Structure 1
Amino acid sequence: MEYHRITHIEDPYFAQMHALMQQVFPAEELLEFNLWADPLQDPGIRVFVAVEESRVIGATEYRYYPDLQIAMTDFTLIGKDGLGIGPFLAANRMADLRQVAAEAGGKLNGMFAEIYNPEQSGGLAFGGVKAMNAVVRREVLAHLGYRKLDLDYVHPSWQIDGEAVHGLDFCYMPIDEAGVQHVEAALVAEFLQTYYAILSEKPESWYQMIEGLKARGQVELLAI
């Protein structure tokens, strides 16, 4: 299995990855094909695919924020069960992030991720891939060390229509620090404002969530 980075939409593996995403993810979580052109050329956005016999069978997108010394896993995509794609992507992602952080002269304190709440996403088939089921994915994140933030989470739709997307939890995984029970609310607010700055249209509920975070000192980390 090859860990291949995609940096432009002309890469033939990108078309395969985007098609796979359309099979697995709901429309509000997807960016249109052509809108990927600029993000892929951003050196801070790292998009990798797992390739086997010239076929994309998995993918992951993530980024490291040197000013915050925090990373974000945008998505992990497994195209077929039983091939070890998840562990392959997780191991390569962590190794790459540690290298990126070291090259930036910093460290990796933790990583954020969004995860579907099974109670609110039961109607999503996720392309029929069992590993992508919300229940399975939550267990995987829990084993990796993620915990969900005590937060009524909402995020803007990637269709850039100003709609609020519910049904997800926002999670955090401390790196090399055992026993962390809280995250600074100001860090969460700053991160989310930075992360979603690319979306021009955001729902009022998102702004209310950000203001609520700014009024808090810390956000408790709960079991997923």
Structure 2
Amino acid sequence: MDYHRITNIADPYFKQMHELMQTVFPPEEVLEYELWAEPLQDPGIRVFVAVHEGQVVGATEYRYYEDMQVAMTDFTIIGREGLGIGPFLVKQRTSDLLSLVGATGGSLLGMFAEIYNPYLAQDHSFGGVKPMDPFVRREVLAHIGYRKLDLGYVHPSWHNDGAAVQELDLGFMPFGDDADSLEAIHASLIAAFLERYYAVLPNKPQAWYDMVAQLKQLEQVRLLPL
């Protein structure tokens, strides 16, 4: 299996990846095809696909914010069972991310991820691919170190229509020697990250602004089990 980076929508694997995204994710979670052109050329956005026998069978996107010392997993897709795609993507992504952190001379506090709440996302079939089932994904993410941030989470729809999406939790996976014992992270870090991450969407719901404002009034946010 090959780990291939996509940096242009003209890449023949991009069309396969976008179709895979449309198969497994609800419409409000998928950016329109043409709107990928600029983000893919951003050196800070890392989009990779797992290619097996010429076919895209998995994908992941992530980024590292050097000034905040945090990363974000935008999405992870497992398109087929029985190929070990999940472990392959995690291993390759972690290796690439740590190489990126090392190259910039920075450090990594941890990695954010939006994680489907299976009790709120039961209507999504995720393309019928069992590893993408929200119950399965949540357990897998818990096993690799993600925890839930103790806040009522909402994010803007990627349709950029101002709708509020409320069926996910915001998770965080700490890195470093104290990762297992860390009980909370600074609320200001979460607020700064969310403002940076969603700056690309001008039409954000009021519920999102209220959540960020609330975070700015707090000192820390607890890390809870998934």
Give TM-score, length-normalised by structure 1.
0.99
2:7 aligned partner: 7
Aligned to 2:18: 18
Equivalenced residues, count: 224
1:173 is aligned to 173
Q: Tell me the equivalent position of 1:85.
A: 85
Query: Which residue of 1 is the match for residue 208 of structure 2?
Result: 206
Shift of 1:81: 1.1
SS of the residue corresponding to residue 23 of structure 1 reads helix
2:31 paired residue number: 31
1:137 is the counterpart of 2:141:
no
Task: Work out the CA distance in 2 between the residues paired with 1:106 and 1:98.
Answer: 10
Shift of 1:82: 1.5
User: Take 1:60 and 1:189, find their aligned partners in 2: how far apart are those partners?
Assistant: 24
CA–CA distance in structure 2, aligned partners of residues 5 and 108 of structure 1: 22
Question: What does the per-residue CA deviation read over 1:157-214, in whole Å, with 9 as the maximum and x for residues that have no partner?
Answer: 0001010001100000001233000010000000000000000100000000000000
Name the SS of the counterpart of 2:153 in structure 1. Answer: coil
C-alpha displacement of 1:114: 0.5
Amino acid in structure 2 at the alignment position of 1:211: A
Find the residue that maps to 2:94 and give its secondary structure. Answer: helix
Q: Match for 2:195: what amino acid?
A: Q
Q: Distance in 2 between matches of 1:182 and 1:209?
A: 18
**Distance in 1 of aligned mates of 2:165 and 2:20:** 21
**Which of 181, 191, 194 is the aligned partner of 2:193?**
191
Tell me the equivalent position of 2:96. Answer: 96
Mapping 1:44-193, distance limit 5 Å: 44-176=44-176, 177=178, 178-193=180-195
CA–CA separation in structure 1 for the residues paired with 2:11 and 2:200: 23
What is the CA RMSD across the aligned residues, in angstroms? 0.5
The answer to whether 1:221 aligns with 2:216 is no
1:17 and 1:205 map into 2 onto residues whose CA distance is 31
Provide, for residues 93-143 of structure 1, a one-character-per-residue CA deviation record: whole Å limited to 9, x for no partner.
Answer: 000000000111101110000011011010100000000000000001100
Structure 1 SS opposite 2:114: strand
CA distance in 1, matches of 2:115, 2:129: 16
Runs of 4 or more, structure 1, over 4 Å off, are none
Corresponding residue SS for 1:213: helix
Deviation for aligned residue 1:28 = 0.3
Supply the distance in 1 between the matched residues of 2:144 and 2:182 (Cα, whole angstroms): 14
